[in-house]
Structure 1
Amino acid sequence: MGPDALNHLPQGHLHKRTAQLTNPSVLENPRICKSFIVGKCPYDIFSGTKENFGRCPKIHQEKYKLLYEAARAKGIKMPRHDYELDYLRDLEIFINECNRKIEMAERRLRYTAEEKESLSNITREMDELDTRIALTTQEIQILSDKEDLDKAIDLSKSLKRYVHDRSELASTYSEMLENINQSAQQKLQVCTECGAYLSRLDNDKRLVDHFMGKIHLGYVEMRNIAREIRGRTE
């Protein structure tokens, strides 16, 4: 399109185009990402990490961010919405999901501790079965000596059941003990910012790598921004 082509544009076209680039009302488009124009979209914060949530379904264009910042600098209020509240809502969706992940992770660690407490109960049950097995074996031997085979056979069925139950308990005990030992060796705890598992046995470098990691810093940043916005709006 050459310079002369501008003369053939509909009357008011340039004015309309300019107004669109300076009038904050264009930001009311629900397809425009309010988090992007106000601050940082959570989708962008975790881009390229293990917690990559994909691409934001809304529009990210720098011209809208610049328009918003210019309007704010001039004290121009947004037409109908407080976009900071929209931003806070988006942040809280990700923060609440992270909080659920933290709660689940802590529950798993608590469950392992509960397993440890229940070992004594399983041990007591196995002791009781050991006693039953020993007494039943002796009784079967006595009945066999007396040639009371019918009662001996009936008791043999009970003995078989006791041995089976004892074996099942022993298997459960071994599995629980393995889980407890593994937890004790790792001494795990949950990061209250991002929900990752941390080992209290990790060296300083590994801990620094975690706390300086993009995921951890991303959640810390989101939580701080959310607190700031809540403080301004309360």
Structure 2
Amino acid sequence: MAAEQRKLLEQLMGADQLIGTGSQGRNSQLSITDSKVCRSYIAGTCPHDLFTNTKQDLGPCPKVHSEGLKAEYDTASASEKAKWGFEFDYLRDMQKYIDDCDRRIDTAQRRLEKTPDEIRQTNDLLKQIADLSNTINSGLQEVSILGETGSVALALSEMHKVRTSKHQKESLERDLKNLQDTSGPSGHQKLQVCDVCGAYLSRLDNDRRLADHFFGKMHMGYSDMRKNCKKLSIELKGRAPPVRHHEEDDNPYTSGGRPLTGRGPRYGGGGGGGGGYRRRGGGRW
């Protein structure tokens, strides 16, 4: 909401006047290379504008959004854009929020995992079922041998034991299925975590509820961010970020005019992407 209101004020009052409302009362227009300008907004879409009025609302962007400067960037030549290198700032910002989202997804996935007690119960049931399977197989072999030797009474007695073991095994298999269906904090709700935005979804949701999620503002925001991050990572691969001698404090890629190593975004990987939902480690629902 704050970002949308700022855009409206820029249109009504002009970006220059908004820039001049700071603590020092500045009223001169900032240049496109000023460190106070939001380069993600200039080069693409500021992450602060993607999630307004959602659970992931980032609040207003601390830097200046100027439609005039964005228009200047859009009409600039390719060589001019390469000299500014705003794409590197944009990629760094997107990767930061994607990494935060991925950490939330991992945390949410761990919350849905079975508890130690549930794991113990599952292992105990599996062992009992395996033991009964061996008992049944051995009993059937014994029945066959007794039948061949004419020991009918003993064969019938052994067959009764086999049937009892089968009933016990079927009962334990039902217990195991119930435990698997209801284990974990998700329980009967069958919760899963969306690999795009980290929201909880239920496999019991109808198509309308799932569509509301997939086309919701938060899901679409992270989906677009991941797509743009992946695309930009490929485009910038092999290119060196600009050296900004006059912005040493703001620029994460340089120090004292010298490029740093091991800093900045991961240009090779990017975010995973599309607009659909996929289960972690598996296919789509």
Tell me if TM exceeds 0.5.
yes
State the shift of 1:183 in Å. 2.4
Kindly tell me: are residues 80 and 115 of structure 1, through their superposed partners in 2, closer, same or farther at Cα, counting changes over 3 Å? farther
Taking the aligned partners of 1:187 and 1:120, their CA distance within structure 2 comes to: 18
Instruction: Return the index of the structure with the highest Cα Rg.
Output: 1
CA RMSD of aligned residues (A): 2.8
Q: Does 1:62 align with 2:67?
A: yes
- 1:195 deviates by 0.3
Find out whether 1:204 has 2:189 as its counterpart.
Answer: no
- Which residue is equivalent to 2:120? 118
Shift of 1:108: 1.0
Q: CA deviation at 1:228?
A: 0.6
Q: Deviations over 1:157-180 (max 9, x none)?
A: xxxxxxxxxxxxxxxxxxx99x83
Provide the rounded CA distance (Å) in 2 between the counterparts of 1:108 and 1:60. Answer: 39
> In 1, Cα distance between the equivalents of 2:184 and 2:93?
41
**Structure 2 SS opposite 1:77:** helix
User: Residue type of the partner of 1:116?
Assistant: E
Contact 1:28 1:79 in 2 (8 A): no
Corresponding residue for residue 128 of structure 1 = none
The residue aligned with 2:146 is: none
Query: Displacement of 1:181 after TM fit?
Result: 7.0
Give the % identical residues: 41
- Residue 70 of structure 1 and its aligned partner are, at CA, apart by 1.1
From 29, 33, 44, the counterpart of 1:39: 44
Q: Secondary structure at the match of 1:59?
A: coil
Other-structure match for 1:27: 32
Matched, 1:231 2:198: no
Partner residue of 1:150?
Answer: none
Deviation at 1:81, TM superposition (A): 3.5
Higher helix share: 1
Deviation above 4 Å: which 4+ runs of structure 1? 120-123
Cα distance change on mapping 1:28 and 1:184 into 2, 3 Å: same
Asked if 1:50 is matched to 2:55, the reply is yes
Please report how far the alpha carbon of residue 88 of structure 1 lies from its aligned counterpart in structure 2 after TM superposition: 0.4
1:193 aligns with 2:196: yes
How many Å apart are 1:198 and its aligned residue?
0.8
Q: RCO greater where, 1 or 2, for CA within 8 Å and sep 6 or more?
A: 1
Unpaired runs of 5+ residues, structure 2, are 1-27, 126-178, 238-285
Alpha-carbon offset, residue 233 of structure 1: 1.1
CA displacement 1:80-133 (0-9 Å, x = unmatched): 5411111000101111100000000011112x354411346999xxxxxxxxxx
Task: State whether structure 2 residue 111 is matched by structure 1 residue 108.
Answer: yes
Pick from 63, 77, 81: which aligns with 2:80? 77
- Residue 76 of structure 1, CA deviation: 4.1
Q: Which amino acid aligns with 2:61?
A: C
Could you say if the C-alpha distance between residues 180 and 27 of structure 1 is closer, same or farther in structure 2, counting changes exceeding 3 Å? same
Per the normalisation by structure 1, the TM-score is 0.60
Deviations 1:169-200 (A, max 9, x none): xxxxxxx99x8376231111110000011111
Q: Which amino acid aligns with 1:215?
A: M
Unaligned runs of 5+ in 1: 1-19, 124-175
Q: Normalization by structure 2: what TM-score?
A: 0.50
CA distance in 1, matches of 2:78, 2:110: 48
Q: CA deviation at 1:78?
A: 3.9
Matched-pair contact (CA < 8 Å) for 1:210–1:216: yes
Count matched residues: 156
Tell me if the contact between 2:112 and 2:184 (Cα under 8 Å) persists in the aligned partners.
Answer: no
